[in-house]
Amino acid sequence: MNIEHPFNRLRRASAAFQESCILAAAADFDLFTIIIEHNNRLSAQELSTICKTDLRGTTVLLDALAATEYLCKKNIPSNSNSNSNSDSDSTVVYSVAEEFLTLLDRRNQETFIPMIRHMSCVQRSWAELARTIKNGMPFETLPSILGADEDRVSFIWAMNSIAQKLVAPTVESLRQVGLLRFDQFIDIGGASGTYALAFLEALPESRGTIFDLPVGIAAARQRFTGTEYENRIQLVEGDFLQDELPYGFDFAWVSAIIHQFGRSESRNLYEKVFRSLYSGGKVAIRDFIMNAERTVPKDGAFFGISMLVETKTGMVYTFDEVKTDLEIAGFTEVQLAVPAETMSAIVTAKKP
């Protein structure tokens, strides 16, 4: 068995930010999409002109992206490119590597660009971890060069990027444990509606409601308007921390929500979910569910750091904590219906 030398592990871990930073800068300027839009071939000078960026900085960034193989770098004859170098008979151009064409094109439905942008925002908060630990509160960081509003949009579509990969196995796991049988559901904090759409597809007679902040509902409207599902989904703007949820459901989906809040806010949410359900209705909570020591899964422990640096009270929960808070809200039959070492663990409970 090959065991990495402790020095090498520390050196690798301490430099891990570098690759994510060059990806983030490229995503913020949308360099990949711009290159693809121009027949997947542009020079540093052309990109610098289009993006209104410094030529030296743009060139160094492109070379780093080529070194990490997200881009390909090659020379082409100067007579085929108007921006040829005066001291050479060829011009250097960059193209997006074939295997990344779909993921790095912001226009593509499967794009990973919003997640890269979102994780760049997260990284700025992580950079102030020591300050947060010292003061006990998140350190206020600057938004990206795109601005705070666009950062919120990136977050919404970043969650969609991840959900698209998780939704099919998650819905199947609900089917296997007997939960995929409901008529009226509410997707709380459902954002663009990735899971709501999957429920509508899986249950042709069902109808759903997405309840979220305006930015999330705007994304959902973009997804559903003009589709065959438009008349089966209701989009309701609101803040579940402040507002009451609509009533009249036999299933409530609370996906990747509770980690944003502490126990009192979670109990408040569970109480509202309880009131929104018919008697006999069920709630399903998808999130990291930690072991009693809060060290497994590792990704969950790291996610706890994200909640520390990004929120005032957010945390990752153990099953006992979720169970206790659901029971305080009035739910019974609380169980870890779908165990997982990812954020796809699912806790369920029933309204008597």
Average pLDDT, integer, range 325-338: 98
Q: Which residues pair with 251 in a beta bridge?
A: 185, 282
User: At 90, is the pLDDT very low, low, confident or very high (cuts 50, 70, 90)?
Assistant: confident
User: At 216, is the pLDDT very low, low, confident or very high (cuts 50, 70, 90)?
Assistant: very high
What does the pLDDT look like over 14-47, one tens digit per residue? Answer: 999 999 999 999 999 999 999 999 999 999 999 9
For residue 289, give the nearest of 339, 335, 333, 328 by alpha carbon.
Answer: 339
Judge whether residue 85 has pLDDT over 50: no
Contact 251, 182 (CB under 8 A): yes
User: At 82, is the pLDDT very low, low, confident or very high (cuts 50, 70, 90)?
Assistant: very low
Determine the pLDDT at residue 159.
Answer: 87
Identify the architecture of domain 147-350 in CATH: 3-Layer(aba) Sandwich (3.40)
Domain boundaries, the chain: 6-106, 147-350
> Over pLDDT 90: what percentage of the chain?
89
Determine the pLDDT at residue 212.
Answer: 97
Q: Model pTM?
A: 0.86
Determine the pLDDT at residue 73.
Answer: 97
Judge whether residue 285 has pLDDT over 80: yes
User: At 275, is the pLDDT very low, low, confident or very high (cuts 50, 70, 90)?
Assistant: very high
Q: State yes or no: cis peptide before 297, omega within 30 of 0.
A: yes
Judge whether residue 345 has pLDDT over 60: yes
What does the pLDDT look like over 169-213, one tens digit per residue? Answer: 999 999 999 999 999 999 999 999 999 999 999 999 999 999 999
Query: What count of other Cβ atoms lies within 10 Å of the Cβ of residue 231?
Result: 9
Calpha distance 74→314 (Å, rounded): 47
Identify the architecture of domain 6-106 in CATH: Orthogonal Bundle (1.10)
Q: What is the mean pLDDT of the chain?
A: 94
Determine the pLDDT at residue 84.
Answer: 44
